[in-house]
Chains A and B, each alone.
Chain A
Amino acid sequence: MPANRFNGFTEYGIGIGLRAPHYDHILSRKPVVDWFEIISENFMIDGGRPLQILDQILEQYKVVQHGVSMYFGSAERPNREHLRRLKDLVKRTKTPWVSDHLCWGSVDGRYTHDLLPMPYTFEAAKLTAQKVREVRDFLEVPVAVENVSSYAEFHVSEMTEWEFLNEVIERADCGILLDVNNIYVSSQNHNFDPLTYVNSVPAERVAQIHIAGHSKYRKYILDTHDHPVIDPVWKLYERSVQRAGHTATLLEWDDSIPSFQEVHDEALKANKFLASTLLATAV
């Protein structure tokens, strides 16, 4: 199940996000890492150092692309320049799949550069799925959509977030990048049971899993990617891999980034849960 058509039939292990403060360490020490996830937009450029670094990384490591501004849920058509640059990068990295968020962030050609929440309506699901298909067909690689953290819900919603996710992925016939930290954050902000969410996702479509830390405020939780993963999120991760198997896992750490070793050690904690999954499968 972990290697499936939504992740290019790959068996990737535990990766971390490729971030600038770690470039020197990675290139000089060449640490053993299963794979790196890059933010596609950081490399959708014409030349210069970022692409040179990426090429050096690609010589030694497996890389998967993760986007932040495709905005599958925006009511407008995909930006052709964005798609063209993304496809150029796909050819460069040979990423087995690409992922981006189940959200919107631009309207009338204006970008908020945020991951704004979707109204969970059938109209939105239909349009989003159509856009996912269009992007996948253009890029010619599998696409996985990621559930986002959210801080607002809409009156017009006709279903739960997980029902909406399922509606989109079934219509688009695409994979899921299951972010268990985002499920936790949203569950706290919107008062739902995160395990119900995890148990409702079609396990056979999970292409990848994200884990991360967040920040707790008095009245809500913000998805900040600047802390270690907390136990309740590990529990959701454990349940996810019980259901989906030994899935490609990625730790996101984007702010107050500690040393490479600290980030990697945090990511490798996932091994404990993956090992028990393998054991359970064996017996």
Chain B
Amino acid sequence: MKLLKLQRTMARAVMQPLTAAERSQRKAPDGGSMRAYAARFIKPNDRLTSFERLEIYNRQYWFRLFSSMAEDFPGLRSVLGDRRFDAMCKAYLVDCPSTSFTLRNLGSKLESWLRKNPKWAGTKQTLALDIVRLEWADIEAFDGKAEPALDAADLAGASAENLRLQLQPYVQLLSFKYPVDDLLLAVRKDDEDTDFASNAFQEKRKRKRVQAVAKLKPATIYLVVHRVDFSVYFRRIDAEEFSILTALRDGQTLGKAIQAAFTKSAMPEAERAPAVQQWFQNWATLGWFCKQKLPKKKAAVA
């Protein structure tokens, strides 16, 4: 068997889902028996059959990927419950196997996949989608690029009318239908405490968490997931703030961004200017703006 063919044959078996008992399936990817499939390319030894040797890799693959998903999406796990989460992960990873050299990117398609496959999002679909978006934004904010921060000198002579401000690449702007920031922080706190708790205590905590998720009421929130001193924080902002920041991120001028933010705003006219001033002060202090990246000059055409 040539190298490429052997690797394709083995990868298909390794990536095939496990049974409910976390063993290799009896049926091979080609529809035949897995025992015969394994025996075609793997040697048995005095202790293990070809099937059993292949099964070691099959199980390792799934255990590693499940562990990575559970680590990256503890919030979704608490929303779906352990069993439903595991089943969802299996279905997701069958449809979207890793195409990146790093496990960091394993959940990059989870939100879009859940939208296409809503049955896996459970009974609280909006909540599940909200928490996935937050958890992925958290990953992006954690190790996203930071450009040099904008300083006052960069704004010298600029007019609000034409000024375009660029947000740091790691800054994530999100709106949610549920207060998922509180939920995720509670789940994380719970997990930290659970590390030192007894089994009975863990069970009690688990029940408490399930109740907390069940009780969570919808409430629209606007959130910035950002970094301060390399730690990720969630900062709730007003709808108008969210509108301005989103417009700036999309390349609008400062003037247009502010104008658009207040078209449907209930904020009294007199409060708007001081509010905008305060927001900008906060955003600048948090370092959310970066120096403008000039587009590369096109080569001159003779």
In the complex, number of A-B residue pairs with CB atoms less than 8 Å apart? 125
Q: Name the distance in Å between B40's Cβ and chain A's nearest Cβ.
A: 8
Q: How many residues of B contact A (CB 8 A)?
A: 49
Q: Name the distance in Å between A70's Cβ and chain B's nearest Cβ.
A: 8
- Name the A residues within 8 Å of B11 (CB-CB): 107-108, 110, 112
- Asked whether B279 is an interface residue with its Cβ less than 8 Å from the other chain, the reply is no
**Docked complex Cα distance between A79 and B105 (Å):** 15
Q: Name the distance in Å between A140's Cβ and chain B's nearest Cβ.
A: 20
| CB-CB nearest in chain A for B7 | A107
Contact residue among A51, A112, A220 (Cβ-Cβ distance under 8 Å from B61): A112
Given A44-B102, A110-B97, A154-B42 in contact, is the A116-B169 Cβ separation under 8 Å? no
- Asked whether A50 is an interface residue with its Cβ less than 8 Å from the other chain, the reply is yes
Given A47-B170, A113-B65, A121-B3 in contact, is the A152-B53 Cβ separation under 8 Å? yes
- Name the B residues within 8 Å of A116 (CB-CB): 7, 10, 14, 57
Q: Are B41 and A75 interface neighbours, CB within 8 A?
A: no
**Docked complex Cα distance between A107 and B13 (Å):** 13
Q: Name the distance in Å between A90's Cβ and chain B's nearest Cβ.
A: 15
**Docked complex Cα distance between A109 and B101 (Å):** 9
Q: Name the distance in Å between A81's Cβ and chain B's nearest Cβ.
A: 8
- Name the B residues within 8 Å of A191 (CB-CB): 45-46
Q: Name the distance in Å between B167's Cβ and chain A's nearest Cβ.
A: 14
Given A45-B143, A48-B230, A110-B15 in contact, is the A123-B98 Cβ separation under 8 Å? no
- Name the A residues within 8 Å of B277 (CB-CB): none
Contact residue among B15, B41, B64, B231 (Cβ-Cβ distance under 8 Å from A49): B231
Q: Which of A82-136 contact B (CB under 8 A)?
A: 82, 104, 106-114, 116, 119, 121, 123-124, 127
Q: List 27 A-B contacts (CB under 8 A).
A: A41-B102, A44-B101, A47-B170, A48-B143, A48-B170, A50-B143, A51-B143, A52-B230, A69-B101, A69-B102, A107-B4, A107-B7, A108-B8, A110-B98, A111-B98, A112-B14, A113-B65, A114-B14, A114-B61, A116-B14, A119-B1, A121-B3, A124-B3, A151-B57, A152-B50, A153-B45, A220-B48
Which positions in A face B, CB cutoff 8 Å? 41, 44-52, 69-70, 74-75, 79, 81-82, 104, 106-114, 116, 119, 121, 123-124, 127, 151-156, 189-191, 219-220, 222
A-B complex: 6 closest residue pairs judged by Cβ atoms: A46-B145, A48-B143, A49-B230, A75-B4, A45-B143, A152-B53
